[in-house]
């Protein structure tokens, strides 16, 4: 894969498989989800290897780790600043691509310089509401 040539990591077939699975993936998969998907093509891969690969990709800024699910970390190949809708029914995580930063009064943040805003909006997705 030409486009992955300059990312500064050695491209093993397993790393490439994880990168390819994550490319454009909007499902915010967990390490287990990624493992299951990649295992089809690389039956020898272990969950520990997937964790290691994700750690490397995170260090290189190619994926961001989301701590929105208390039971498992989720991973997002979209490292741009964006917000998330989290369904409390099915666990689905949906991007809010709109750039939205709430105004927080100066008195509330006590001189703190805000560098990044990440909103997590919890509720029920359309599918779960219709059930």
Residue 125 found at the interface with Zn ion (CB under 5 A): yes
Shortest Cβ 26–Mn ion spacing (Å): 7
Residue 39: left if φ>0, alpha if ψ -120 to 50, beta else—which one?
Answer: alpha
Residue 20 found at the interface with Mn ion (CB under 5 A): no
> Contacting Zn ion (CB under 5 A), which of 11, 47, 48, 90?
90
Q: 38 with 14: CB under 8 angstroms?
A: yes
β-bridge pairing 93-96 and 83-87: antiparallel
Q: Which of residues 74-113 bind Mn ion (CB under 5 A)?
A: 76, 78, 95
Residue in this structure with the two tokens 């990649």, named with its chain if needed: 38
Q: 54 with 64: CB under 8 angstroms?
A: no
State how far the Cα of 91 lies from the Cα of 122, in Å rounded to an integer: 10
> Contacting Zn ion (CB under 5 A), which of 38, 62, 63, 87?
87
Which partner from the list Zn ion, Mn ion, none does 20 bind, CB cut-off 5 to 8 Å by kind?
A: none
Q: Which is nearer to Zn ion, 15 or 74 (CB)?
A: 74
Residue 93 found at the interface with Zn ion (CB under 5 A): no
Which residues here bind Zn ion, judged by CB under 5 A?
Answer: 87, 89-90, 92, 125, 128
């Amino acid at each position: 894969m030409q486009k992955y040539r300059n990312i500064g990591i050695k491209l093993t077939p397993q790393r490439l498989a994880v990168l390819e699975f994550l490319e454009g993936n909007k499902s915010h998969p967990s390490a287990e989800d990624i493992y299951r998907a990649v295992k089809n093509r690389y039956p020898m891969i272990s969950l520990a290897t997937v964790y290691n690969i994700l750690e490397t990709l995170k260090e290189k800024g190619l994926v961001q780790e989301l701590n929105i699910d208390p039971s498992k970390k989720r991973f997002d190949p979209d490292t741009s600043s964006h917000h998330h809708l989290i369904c409390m029914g099915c666990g689905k995580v949906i991007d809010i691509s709109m750039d939205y930063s709430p105004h927080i009064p100066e008195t509330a943040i006590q001189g703190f310089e805000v560098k990044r805003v990440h909103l997590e909006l919890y509720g029920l997705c359309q599918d779960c509401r219709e059930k």
